[in-house]
A and B are shown apart, each in its own frame.
Chain A
Amino acid sequence: MQARPGTGLAPAPVRPARPLPQRVLRWLLAAVAVAGFIGCLRLADVDPVELAEGLPTMAGWIGQAFPPSTEGLSTLLVRAAETVAIAVVGTAFAVVLALPLCVLAARTTTPSGWVRLPVRLFLNGLRGVDAFVFALLFVAAVGLGPFAGVLGIALHTWGSMGKLFSESIEALPGGPLEAAELTGASRLKTSSYTLLPDVLPSISSIGLYLLEFNIRASTVLGVVGAGGIGQELKNSVDLLAFPRLATILIVILVMVTAVDQLSARLRKALA
């Protein structure tokens, strides 16, 4: 056998050509994908001409936005703090709600498949409805204000968190739990003692990640009247108050960046 030049290894086997039907199938699939994407462009009303015509107007707005207004900055900061508070409280509620359910939803810890399936469906349902949509409903139910936002964030995050927590429980090796079960101790004792220490770093990291995500999500809750800086954002857009809008966007950017940095550091420390 001839060695491959420079490697001293046997020649790499030649990849056999794919059979004809398979190649035809690939082209067909590609054609369907392209056609589907064109359909999506139509449905989404994508129109480059409109974008081009709108650009000068937007450029004008940016011009008007400078210098950003510092009037009422203290109110804005209070609203920003409210946004963070909505996310923190909503995420904390979600942790409390998700912890018991993730145990029921994880294959390794669930008492039975008959419990696991409905719990997973429930969590998926919560996850499928955005916090914004929940907030819209809660504004109608409990009235305008940040509490509606908290409830919206809490419900949606409950779903995501329960699912992610249960996946990290399932990813743990099962051996230590088996060893503990052989002592004849109850399920509550064996699973809390052997799984919790090893799963804690990953669930803390998931919690921080979702908190970070929720702070970004909370910035728009005010648009539906559920508190936070989004309310100011909407008012400024409605009044075309561009200098104030610029200030709001800067405040949001600073806030989100600061939280992302902090959370990234904490998660690194946990790893």
Chain B
Amino acid sequence: MTALAVRGLTHAYGGVPVLRAVDLSVSPGEVVAVVGPSGAGKTTLFRCLTQLVRADAGTLELFGTDLQQAQGKSLRLARRDLGLVFQSYNLVRRLTAMQNVLVGRLADVPAWRVLLRRFPAADEALAAACLDQVGLLPYAHTRADRLSGGQQQRVAIARVLASRARVVLADEPVASLDPASAASVLTALRSLATDHGKAVVCSLHQVDLVAGFADRVVGLRDGRVVLDVPVSQFDPAAASALYARAG
């Protein structure tokens, strides 16, 4: 069974095509790495997958629900199965790590509790467990703006974990991290698939990080999928062909 199935996804910004009939599928427990040169359309792909941007054409099925057709309440419902880890973490700076992870629980908690920031004990326990999984339980009560970049990104992963989304997308989650922090973030993402059966799609700039992390590699170039292979077939030659300058 596929978790996310994308067919013919096409999008243009102001008449300039950015995604051209992209096909992509990912199954539960699988990690797909999306690689490609700057401007290839990776971020646009993630924004269309999450409906932060509505694609011009194509179908986008999340566990059989067509997201492209979903609106308002049905979109909100469908989105609960989607989590996105952003390159810039996007944590609320003045909330603690724990309170940021609890963002993942917002959909299930009554509004008055959200306004007072009084979450049910079960949600707090879940949030703590998620922080523990990314190794940040000791920082639960530290404000987000006091954490290092790698720690902030792991809080963002814990936030997605707490939302119980079954499909996790990550847009260059390690682009602004040092090698050690990057490794810890990728390990956390890998474990989402291996230990929790989530479907993970992650874009990366550094092709050398793909081996040992992903199961499958999708190469994007000028908005087209030019490569979709098991990680074992993604060798240096394939990588340099993908990144080679056109012409």
Contact = CB atoms under 8 A, between A and B. Distances in A.
B90 A179 contact: yes
A198 B78 CA distance: 28
Contact of A182 (B83, B91, B95, B109): B83
A184 interface: yes
B77 interface: yes
Contacts of A181: 79
A55 to B, nearest CB: 56
Interface string B187-221: 00000000000000000000000000000000000
Given A193-B106, A198-B94, A184 B80 contact: yes
B114 interface: yes
Nearest to A175: B90
A242 B83 CA distance: 73
Contacts of A200: 94
A153 B76 CA distance: 42
A192 B114 contact: yes
A185 interface: yes
A2 interface: no
Given A180-B103, A182-B83, A183-B79, A193 B156 contact: no
Contacts of B52: 178, 182
Given A182-B79, A192-B115, A197 B95 contact: yes
A192 B159 CA distance: 17
A190 interface: yes
Interface string B104-146: 1111010100110100000000000000000000000000000
Chief secondary structure at chain A's binding surface: helix
A202 B77 CA distance: 34
A193 B107 contact: no
B93 A193 contact: no
B92 interface: yes
Contact of B103 (A173, A179, A186, A188): A179
B198 to A, nearest CB: 15
B88 interface: yes
Nearest to B100: A176
Nearest to B96: A197
Given A178-B52, A190-B106, A197-B95, A183 B117 contact: no
B156 to A, nearest CB: 7
Nearest to A201: B94
B71 to A, nearest CB: 13
Contacts of A42: none
B159 A179 contact: yes
Given A179-B90, A193-B103, A197-B92, A184 B114 contact: no
A86 to B, nearest CB: 31
Interface in A39-86: none
B243 interface: no
A189 B92 contact: no
B84 interface: yes
A186 B76 contact: yes
Nearest to B75: A184
A263 interface: no
B163 A198 contact: no
A194 interface: yes
Interface string A147-164: 000000000000000000
Contacts of A198: 92-94
A10 B78 CA distance: 60
Interface string B159-200: 100010100000000000000000000000000000000000
B80 A183 contact: yes
A179 B106 contact: no
B92 A194 contact: yes
B50 interface: yes
A179 B50 CA distance: 10
A189 B79 contact: no
Contact of A189 (B88, B106, B165): B106
Given A193-B103, A198-B92, A182 B114 contact: no
Nearest to A194: B92
B114 A176 contact: no
Determine which residue in A182, A184, A198 has the highest number of CB atoms from chain B within 10 A of its CB, and name it. A182
Given A182-B82, A189-B106, 11 more contacts: A173-B90, A179-B86, A183-B104, A183-B163, A183-B165, A185-B107, A188-B111, A189-B114, A193-B92, A193-B103, A198-B93
Interface of A: 173, 175-176, 178-186, 188-190, 192-194, 197-198, 200-201
20 contacts: A176-B90, A176-B91, A176-B92, A176-B103, A178-B86, A178-B90, A179-B86, A182-B84, A183-B80, A183-B83, A183-B103, A183-B105, A183-B163, A188-B111, A189-B114, A190-B106, A192-B114, A193-B92, A197-B94, A197-B95
